Structure 1
């Protein structure tokens, strides 16, 4: 696994913090984080890749391909700003270039898997297919997550893309009944194992503490040592 795409079932569910946690867990590797399209920020403001580097450490190379000021889907934001959209081949080329001198390249999407990049309807899934990269899916913990997780997994399978697993992006300190049950049921909906649970508020931790704790949130497949309950999907 040289390139890993980090997508999700929606927006504001913890993709950036999960990306940072994976980067921190692989602290002994050369890690690059690529953000194809950053929306909702003016030039000069720190974006998602800067936050990953801040939390994960100096071993992270942070790259952003395009930035649009309005907090919208990339295609809409690009169109309204008059700026060029990001194309899947540009994402693939940038990731492949980074992969030549990094052990792991994390490509963090914007919003969900099928958010449009351009007027032709290109998506992060198209970029993943060009790269031949697996797609890690970040999901919310609570009620409703099983349906959107199943839909995302179905979209990945329909495109011939591999999902190594799912990660809960923000697990409450005191999860309700739905969240507790979802920890067991998410692998069934995804058809892939649960590879981690990142606690709510993790992004507010001091970076040194974040780096120390990150491996405990993630399964060995993501550089961590979390062992339960990450098992495989039930029949």
Structure 2
């Protein structure tokens, strides 16, 4: 069973586009892929969510599954409570991922926000679901100032729970990086105690599906199914 969890060190840092890049590379290599979004928040019934965006970018060959949808753009526990809708539990997430893994070569489970965002009133998190499957958790981090602390804290939380972190991907590498972003290329692996495995360019989600799929292997390391990426060099 090959199940990977993908967690951001925060929100709005390129997690969904990173999942799409992982899926695109795997499909391009001939693997069957499923993407599981346990909790989609901030999207009304009938509106496309993160799963639809992944499939638009990575292709219709990707199986997409969403377990729960809450209308307000809040943490899943808060959004469910305010909407009067059922909470989502780690066993439900693990069971869904396991079923998909029985029929696919790779299952990517995309979290909501950061690793320890609450899913229910008892404080269950994405990490609890990953523990049930003993699945690795790939970190998606921001590029600039402030990312080192968030990355170190998330990686420490993973280690405390006995979860493997195969590496870090920068989910939105800026077109014009500043000094902090350049320095973080060396510092992020130190903070995470895991290698830097990809740089997804800012604006990648605006590409057409074919353009995205053609470019995605150049953003990720071979460990993630990519063709390797080059580290940019700044003046600092």
Q: State the TM-score, normalized to the length of structure 1.
A: 0.96
Indicate the residue corresponding to 2:173 in structure 1.
171
For residues 93-146 of structure 1, the C-alpha deviation after alignment (integer angstroms, 9 at most, x for no partner) is 000000001000000000000000000000000000001100000000000101
Indicate the residue corresponding to 1:8 in structure 2.
8
Does residue 59 of the first structure (1) align with residue 61 of the second (2)?
Answer: yes
> Do 1:8 and 1:112's aligned partners in 2 also have CA atoms closer than 8 Å?
yes
Does residue 116 of the first structure (1) align with residue 122 of the second (2)?
Answer: no
> Do 2:10 and 2:114's aligned partners in 1 also have CA atoms closer than 8 Å?
yes
Q: For residues 32 and 109 of structure 1, what CA distance do their matches in structure 2 show?
A: 14
Indicate the residue corresponding to 2:234 in structure 1.
none
Q: For residues 147 and 155 of structure 1, what CA distance do their matches in structure 2 show?
A: 12
What displacement does 1:227 show? 4.8
Q: Which runs of 5+ in 2 are unaligned?
A: 232-236
What displacement does 1:228 show? 4.3
> Do 1:29 and 1:59's aligned partners in 2 also have CA atoms closer than 8 Å?
no
What displacement does 1:10 show? 0.4
> Do 1:13 and 1:169's aligned partners in 2 also have CA atoms closer than 8 Å?
yes
Q: Secondary structure at the match of 2:189?
A: helix
Question: Which of 223, 226, 229 in structure 1 is aligned with 2:225?
Answer: 223
Q: Secondary structure at the match of 2:112?
A: coil
Q: Secondary structure at the match of 1:78?
A: helix
Q: For residues 186 and 46 of structure 2, what CA distance do their matches in structure 1 show?
A: 42
Question: How do 1:81-230 and structure 2 match up within 5 A?
Answer: 81-229=83-231
Q: Secondary structure at the match of 2:68?
A: strand
For residues 41-73 of structure 1, the C-alpha deviation after alignment (integer angstroms, 9 at most, x for no partner) is 111000001100010012200000000000000
Indicate the residue corresponding to 1:23 in structure 2.
23
Q: State the TM-score, normalized to the length of structure 2.
A: 0.96
Q: For residues 72 and 229 of structure 2, what CA distance do their matches in structure 1 show?
A: 40
Question: How do 1:28-47 and structure 2 match up within 5 A?
Answer: 28-47=30-49
Q: Structure 1 runs of 4+ off > 2 angstroms?
A: none
> Do 2:36 and 2:65's aligned partners in 1 also have CA atoms closer than 8 Å?
yes
Q: Secondary structure at the match of 1:110?
A: strand
**RMSD after superposition:** 0.8
Q: Secondary structure at the match of 2:35?
A: strand
Q: For residues 38 and 191 of structure 2, what CA distance do their matches in structure 1 show?
A: 28
Q: For residues 102 and 70 of structure 2, what CA distance do their matches in structure 1 show?
A: 28
